[in-house]
Amino acid sequence: MKKQFAIIGMGRFGSSICRELFHMGHEVIAIDTDEKKLSLARSFTTETFVGNGTDESFLEKIGIRNFDHVIVAIGDDIQASILTTLHVKDQNVPNVWVKAQNDYHHKVLDKIGADRIFHPEKEMGSRIAAYLTSDTVLDYIDLSADYSIIEMLATKKVAGKTLIELDPRKRYGCTVIAVKQKHQVDVTPDPAEPIKEGDILILIGDKRDLRRFREGEL
Ligand code: ADP
């Protein structure tokens, strides 16, 4: 379903989100105080507006309240990011996602009702560290400080075993929620089907249990 997004701040983070959403077929408008940033984004936006996110009347004028999602991707200017978020929340936008610079910024954003808070540099750092330290972790999503969803590569060691034999829920306390083979994702994997080398197992669980599974089985 086509959604409407407004992105405030067309730095590296804002513009890369913008490009992805636009190529997924969504309607995306870009807002920035800097006209040059907007002209670079013109090929992957539905519309662009020069303006300041901290200016409440500007946000009203462009009808920010009509968007399903607003992403505040203002970089270093923490005060502007907070004020912009506050105005957008005041306009009752249901999903306001904000890029945070540090933990204090995060705390304030949380207090004023940001629906989702990103730390792209930190998140990317943890991701890269996970790839660098493991041959079998392909990707992961942190659900909380303790829980993750993780994509793991099935090695020779696990090949030929079935999910019944592995029994990750009982033995490790984590659950296989899908098995990926090339471009196919099977969300109801047959527990009696042997796993093949190169399959990708998608598991959910406590991080420590996921690590135990990986170290024990892969
Ligand atoms: P990144 O690390 O994602 O590249 P930047 O700090 O380089 O972040 O970019 C942030 C963008 O936000 C810049 O293009 C800047 O012009 C824009 N910006 C900063 N303050 C405001 C504001 N108050 N309203 C709208 N856009 C802003």
pLDDT single digits (tens) 102-155: 999 999 999 999 999 999 988 888 888 887 788 899 988 888 889 999 999 999
pLDDT in tens, 154-184: 999 999 999 999 999 999 999 999 999 988 9
- Give residue 213's pLDDT: 95
7: CA distance to ligand 1 center in Å?
Answer: 10
9: CA distance to ligand 1 center in Å?
Answer: 4
For the residues 72-94, what does the mean pLDDT come to?
96
Q: What ipTM was estimated for this complex?
A: 0.96
In whole angstroms, give the CA distance from residue 133 to residue 138. 11
Least trusted range by pLDDT, from 94-108, 134-148, 186-200: 134-148
Dihedral over Cα of 5, 9, 15, 16: its sign: negative
What is the residue range of 147's domain? Answer: 123-217
- Looking at the fold, whether 88 and 154 belong to one and the same domain comes out as no
Residue of minimum CA distance from atom 12 in ligand 1: 9
In whole angstroms, give the CA distance from residue 95 to residue 74. 17
Q: The whole model's pTM is what?
A: 0.78
CATH number for 130: 3.30.70.1450
Domain end position, chosen among 61, 87, 118: 118
- Looking at the fold, whether 113 and 135 belong to one and the same domain comes out as no
- Looking at the fold, whether 15 and 97 belong to one and the same domain comes out as yes
- Give residue 127's pLDDT: 82
- Looking at the fold, whether 146 and 200 belong to one and the same domain comes out as yes
113: left (phi over 0), alpha (psi -120 to 50) or beta: left
The band of 99, judged by pLDDT with boundaries at 50, 70 and 90, is very high
CATH number for 37: 3.40.50.720
In whole angstroms, give the CA distance from residue 213 to residue 216. 5
Q: What is the mean pLDDT of the chain?
A: 94
- Looking at the fold, whether 103 and 12 belong to one and the same domain comes out as yes
- Give residue 128's pLDDT: 85
- Looking at the fold, whether 162 and 92 belong to one and the same domain comes out as no
- Give residue 167's pLDDT: 95
- Looking at the fold, whether 110 and 44 belong to one and the same domain comes out as yes
Phi, psi of 90 (to 5 degrees): -60, -25
- Give residue 1's pLDDT: 74
- Looking at the fold, whether 81 and 166 belong to one and the same domain comes out as no
- Looking at the fold, whether 86 and 127 belong to one and the same domain comes out as no
- Give residue 124's pLDDT: 87
Domain count, the chain: 2
| Ligand 1 pocket at CB < 6 A | 8-14, 31-34, 37, 52-54, 73-77, 80
